[in-house]
A and B are shown apart, each in its own frame.
Chain A
Amino acid sequence: MAKDLRDRVFTTISGVPVEEVYTPESVAELDEAHDLGNPGEPPYTRGIHETMYRGKLWTMRQFSGFGTAEETNQRYRYLLEHGQTGLSVAFHLPTLMGFDSDHFMSAGEVGKCGVAIDSLADMELLFDGIPLDKISTSMTTNAPATILWSMYLAVAEKQGVSWESLRGTIQNDILKEYIAEKTFIFPPRPSMKLVVDTLEFASKHVPQWNPISVSGYHIREAGSTALQELAFTLYDGIEYVEWARRAGLDVDTFAPRLSFFFNAHNDFFEEIAKYRAARKVWYKVMTERFRCTNPRSAVLRFHTQTAGCSLTAQQPYNNVVRVAIQALAAVLGGTQSLHTNALDESLALPTEHAARLALRTQQIIAHETGIVNTPDPLGGSYFLERLTLDMEKGCWEYFDRLDAMGGMVAAIEQGYPQREIQDAAYVYQKAVERQEKIIVGVNDFVSDESALDLLLIDESVAERQIARTRKVRETRDNSRCRTTLEVLGKAATAGDVNLMPLVLDCVRAYATLGEICDTLRAIYGTYEEPVF
């Protein structure tokens, strides 16, 4: 065993070489005042709050949704009863792709990867008995974000809750859809117009809302390195700010509400370095590149989810340990909210038991480990500071390349980030197959373990969902609904007004998500990914 270790090349999970030992000389260029600052002070490397978790713990926000709105509503109430502090909605694939549940492309997909939402009627059931002024809600929706956000805003109206008091996030990060997650509908340029509309609408009407969660999570899940995750995500953030500025928005009106979303993978120190570098690079981007004047515009707040792609179907209880270590990295990296994956998620959506254990993992970290007692407890570690500096340097190099390509939309059109990620995924897969990287229970330490009980979604969900949507179409005021869709279509064609108020009118008239998306598809067209 000792011989094996000596022969090995030591690298992070992203393939970055690691030295034998780190000393003060390893970080000779580190200027503590300039590179680190104190927690709560620029460049925020050590955290965005002076007291960090002494003042307030992170939000424990478990991503959840399956079946119909009634079933997911029950799960939300269960999680809230067990101490979860925010909601996070997982929509099923037809909703994410802009199809109603009875569309032929939805066959077999209804309620499987998330909850089926076709119209405002479903959204009303989803939040039944959950007061929207008391919780914060994150919604993972991108291409149809304007529509689902409008449904949420309409539910708030019905509950008598003012939009000013709403707190939450729509993911609304369409760039990473083209790069990694691939749930796009329209081509990039009209999609960016919709994003800018939401930024403007939020700043005017829903001031506590985060209108974009710029997401590296999916980039990492698609196989990127930690550096690629960070660099592409922050550059996506740059692209949104650029587009909003070009549309005439003042940076300081929307930048304080931009939030980020990162992955927490297995390589503990590399991940912590990634979060620390993220804050520092974003601070420099906002102050130097965009010359923001509101200090809050330069503060990077982020959500973290543990890495789904690191979970194994083999020996699934091992996943509990992986998730705990990943969550620890996220907390030591100063996350504002956290989702911990359940042990059965490489096989299916989590059972109630598995979901509770995942939540308990966060509670143990928060209340038993003591790591919340002081901000950035690993700051000053030679190794961690070296990794943080290198992560930052790598970002600037990627930014130069992306600038030279003409920005992220242009880079996506050339397939650049897509190819970078595919190459990294393939290199990692090969390293696993050569046993250069060990995955316990998969390519080493293999043993049989009894199967888990899984949450399986049967086809009766689709029948119930389709029946409800058809009833909505029969009972609504169809002429009003048609009118709202026509008005939206005309405005989208003209292209010079914010579409959010018009989408809201469609939603209030119980136009379905599929109908609204069809109206926009007719004008914007759909995006077909070139095979890179």
Chain B
Amino acid sequence: MPERIRVLVAKPGLDGHDRGAKIIARAFRDAGFEVVYTGLRQTPEQVVTAALQEDVDVIGLSVLSGAHMTLCPRIMELMKKEKLDDVLVLVGGIIPDQDIPKLKDLGVSEVFQPGVSTKDIIEYVRRNVGKR
């Protein structure tokens, strides 16, 4: 596990619902992680560039608009291209059950659906970061 876990919290796509992203960013900070929040409406290219520049261990993507099956595959493809294979990718938001296996096949580590506690997400990150 890295000494200080670095996380990028990102809002790809047009969705402006940032309550969840901001809560998890703050919970990560309270847990001692270093957090970079991208702000709203990032293209997949911007998300991956930020992950590279910030040298993060974890990317948390928040999507509530239903566009995750367009945005996440593109982000995973760009990450492979940039050889960011060791970065843990988490997706949170309104993600139907049926899309979870598809996202995991693309290389997403875990999907967090509505109602999850921030403690569980933090715990997941601590257990899984740096293991890939």
A222 lies within 8 A of B19 (CB): yes
Judge if B43 is at the interface, Cβ distance under 8 Å: yes
**Majority-rule SS of B interface residues:** loop
Q: Which residue of B lies closest to A184 (CB)?
A: B16
Residues of chain B lying within 8 A (CB to CB) of residue A223 = 19, 23
Residue of A96, A99, A433 with most chain B CB atoms under a 10 A cut-off = A433
Task: Give bound CA distance, A105 to B65, whole Å.
Answer: 13
Stretch from B52-60, B109-117, B124-132 that touches the partner: B109-117
A313 lies within 8 A of B69 (CB): no
B70 lies within 8 A of A107 (CB): yes
Task: Give bound CA distance, A99 to B114, whole Å.
Answer: 28
B22 lies within 8 A of A425 (CB): yes
Judge if A16 is at the interface, Cβ distance under 8 Å: no
A112 lies within 8 A of B39 (CB): no
Q: Which residue of A lies closest to B44 (CB)?
A: A107
Residues of chain B lying within 8 A (CB to CB) of residue A182 = 16-18, 40
Residues of chain A lying within 8 A (CB to CB) of residue B43 = 104-105
Q: Which residue of A lies closest to B14 (CB)?
A: A93
A221 lies within 8 A of B19 (CB): yes
A422 lies within 8 A of B22 (CB): yes
Q: Which residue of B lies closest to A105 (CB)?
A: B14
Fill in one digit per residue for B1-33: 1 if any A CB lies within 8 Å of its CB, else 0: 000000000000111111100110011000000
Judge if A94 is at the interface, Cβ distance under 8 Å: yes
- Given A112-B65, A456-B96, A531-B39; A313-B113 close (CB under 8 Å): yes
- Per the CB 8 Å criterion, the residue count for chain A at the interface is 44
Residues of chain B lying within 8 A (CB to CB) of residue A348 = 66, 94, 96
B67–chain A nearest beta-carbon distance, Å: 3
Residues of chain B lying within 8 A (CB to CB) of residue A443 = 117
Residues of chain B lying within 8 A (CB to CB) of residue A108 = 13, 66-71
A358–chain B nearest beta-carbon distance, Å: 18
Task: Give bound CA distance, A346 to B22, whole Å.
Answer: 19
A425 lies within 8 A of B65 (CB): no
Task: Give bound CA distance, A457 to B115, whole Å.
Answer: 23
Judge if B104 is at the interface, Cβ distance under 8 Å: no
Q: Which residue of B lies closest to A112 (CB)?
A: B66
- For A109, give its contact among B40, B67, B94, B117 (CB under 8 Å): B67
Residues of chain B lying within 8 A (CB to CB) of residue A107 = 67, 70-71
B14 lies within 8 A of A94 (CB): yes
- Given A93-B14, A312-B115, A347-B96; A112-B19 close (CB under 8 Å): no
Residues of chain B lying within 8 A (CB to CB) of residue A312 = 114-115
Residues of chain A lying within 8 A (CB to CB) of residue B94 = 346-348
Residues of chain A lying within 8 A (CB to CB) of residue B15 = 93, 113
Fill in one digit per residue for A97-124: 1 if any B CB lies within 8 Å of its CB, else 0: 1010000111111001100000000000
Task: Give bound CA distance, A347 to B68, whole Å.
Answer: 13
Judge if A135 is at the interface, Cβ distance under 8 Å: no
B40 lies within 8 A of A112 (CB): no
Task: Give bound CA distance, A177 to B16, whole Å.
Answer: 9
Task: Give 4 closest A-B pairs by Cβ, nearest first.
Answer: A108-B70, A182-B16, A108-B67, A112-B66
The residues of B with any CB-CB pair to A shorter than 8 Å are 13-19, 22-23, 26-27, 37, 39-41, 43, 65-71, 94, 96-97, 113-115, 117-119
A-B contact pairs, 29 of them (CB 8 A): A93-B15, A97-B41, A105-B14, A106-B14, A107-B70, A108-B71, A109-B66, A109-B70, A112-B67, A177-B16, A182-B18, A223-B19, A223-B23, A312-B114, A312-B115, A314-B115, A425-B23, A429-B23, A433-B117, A433-B118, A439-B115, A442-B115, A454-B96, A456-B96, A457-B66, A459-B70, A529-B39, A531-B37, A531-B39
What 7 additional pairs, Cβ within 8 angstroms, besides A177-B16, A456-B96, A529-B39? A96-B14, A97-B41, A104-B43, A109-B14, A425-B22, A429-B23, A451-B97
